[in-house]
Amino acid sequence: MGLLRILDVNINYRLKSKVVKAVRNFSLDVNEGDIIGIIGESGSGKSTLAHGLMRILPKNGNMEAAEIVLNGRDISKISDAEFDELRWVEMSIVFQKAMSVLSPVHKIFDQMYDTILAHRPETRKEEAKEKLLGLLSVVNLPSEILKMYPHELSGGMMQRIMICLSLIFNPRLVILDEVTTALDVITQGQLLDEIDRLVKEFGLTVMMITHDIGVVNELCTKIAILYAGELLELGNVKDVIFSPFSPYTKALVESHPDLNPHGSGLKGIPGTLPDLVNPPEGCVFYDRCIYREDRCMERKPDLVDFGKRKVKCLRAGEING
């Protein structure tokens, strides 16, 4: 039994006269213990998906789903009040902009205590403090931090605090939304090591949203490739990265310095994302694909199951090599 089962998610943003279809027909199964990396370029809908799952889309965003089953319960149709109760307790999220995630006028402890009180109103201050100190030591932060204000800390420390905050209620699923993007490479490396350790220590299931395929290669067990709001390829990390079936995955890997199988000569992917107001009838990657054929434009390919992986490409398997 999977921990999270997402079926047929569609997320739209209403603009003045247009509707941007940011995520279309997205389905994903997450098993207990998976560390699944969701990869995509800017505008591919990866953060939208995370925010949609947490129901924190902006007011003009709208999500529809056939079902979203978390811990055996369909949470796609429950009311906002019911959702408020399980959010952060059963699944939590760590945000991208570490420096601006906490209010500048309150001390770190007060804000973390507020979160505890929101779900466990009877918690006493001493209990909360004890719990937070335990969590802080897990991410190697000194206890004095609780008395400090957000502006006194660095980006790496703030991101660690956010990770603590996300673990307060021991949720089984944690979404990491580009947690390392705003950090320098060294801090990034330390943080990734710590996340790796936490995952084992707490038995977490992680959805890691990032545009850095190297990070996914290092940390994740599974990978989902998102392009222009559609899932193009899903499978085990090593399989997908080292023998991609989808031309987009192949292009993505070839544009990453450490993973480029040919050793030298980085390739970019020419072109830009298709218009999400009127998404193409056929394959979304058609415009930029070097393996395209006429039939790719006529009909949207299905997500075909290849046993160990799923790929959305008519020529899946042919292009590898």
Partner 1 sequence: MTAETRITLSRKDSRFSKSLNKYFSNLKGVVGFAILIVFVIMAVFAPLIAPYSPVEMTNEVLESPSLSHLFGTDHLGRDIFSRIVFGSRISLSVGFVAAGLSAIIGIFIGSFSGYFGGITDDVVSKVIDTFLMIPSFFLILIIVSIFGSNILYIMLIIGVTTWPTNARLMRGQALSIRERTFIMVARSTGESEMRILFGHVIPNGVFPVIANSALQMGGAILTEAALSFLGLGDPNLTSWGKLIFQGRPYMTFAPWTIVIPGVFVVLAVLAFSFIGDGLQHTFNPKTKEGE
Q: Would you tell me which residues interact with partner 1 (CB under 8 A)?
A: 54, 56, 84-85, 87-88, 92-93, 95, 97, 100-106, 111, 114-115, 118-119, 140-142, 144-145, 148-149, 151-152, 157, 162, 165, 189-190, 193-194, 196-197
Q: Are 108 and 145 in contact (CB under 8 A)?
A: yes
Q: Which residue's CB is nearer to partner 1, number 24 or number 51? A: 51
Count of beta carbons in the 10 Å neighbourhood of residue 189? 14
Q: For the CB of residue 299, give the shortest distance to partner 1 in the complex, in Å.
A: 39
Q: Closest distance between partner 1 and the C-beta of residue 78, in Å?
A: 15
In the complex, minimum distance from the CB of residue 303 to partner 1, in angstroms, rounded to a whole number: 30
Between CA 211 and CA 228 the distance in angstroms is: 13
Cα dihedral 232/237/243/244 (nearest 10)? 10
Written as six digits, the tokens of 321 are: 């090599």
Q: Cβ 105 to partner 1, closest distance in Å?
A: 5
CB of 1 vs partner 1, minimal distance in Å: 26
CA 292 to chain centre: 29
Quote the least distance from Cβ 160 to partner 1, whole Å: 9
CB of 58 to partner 1, least distance (A): 9
CB closer to partner 1, 13 vs 285: 13
Token look-up 């109103």 returns 121
C-beta closer to partner 1: residue 118 or 290? 118
Classify 315 in phi/psi space as left (phi over 0), alpha (psi -120 to 50) or beta: alpha
Spatial distance between the Cα atoms of 115 and 100, rounded to a whole number of angstroms: 17
- Chain-centre distance for alpha carbon 115: 22
Neighbour-count burial of 128, counting CB atoms closer than 10 A to its CB (0-12 exposed, 13-18 middle, 19+ buried): buried
C-alpha to C-alpha distance for 164 and 198, rounded to whole angstroms: 10
29 vs 84, beta carbon nearer partner 1: 84
Whose CA is closest to 7, among 54, 108, 62, 75?
Answer: 75
- For residue 39, the tally of other CB atoms under 10 A from its CB is 26
Per the CB < 8 A criterion, the answer to whether 309 and 236 are in contact is yes
Min CB(156)–partner 1 separation in Å: 8
Q: Is the CB of 119 or the CB of 288 nearer to partner 1?
A: 119
Task: Give the nearer residue to partner 1 in terms of CB position, either 95 or 109.
Answer: 95
Nearer to partner 1, 56 or 266 (CB): 56
**Nearest CB to partner 1, comparing residues 157 and 313:** 157
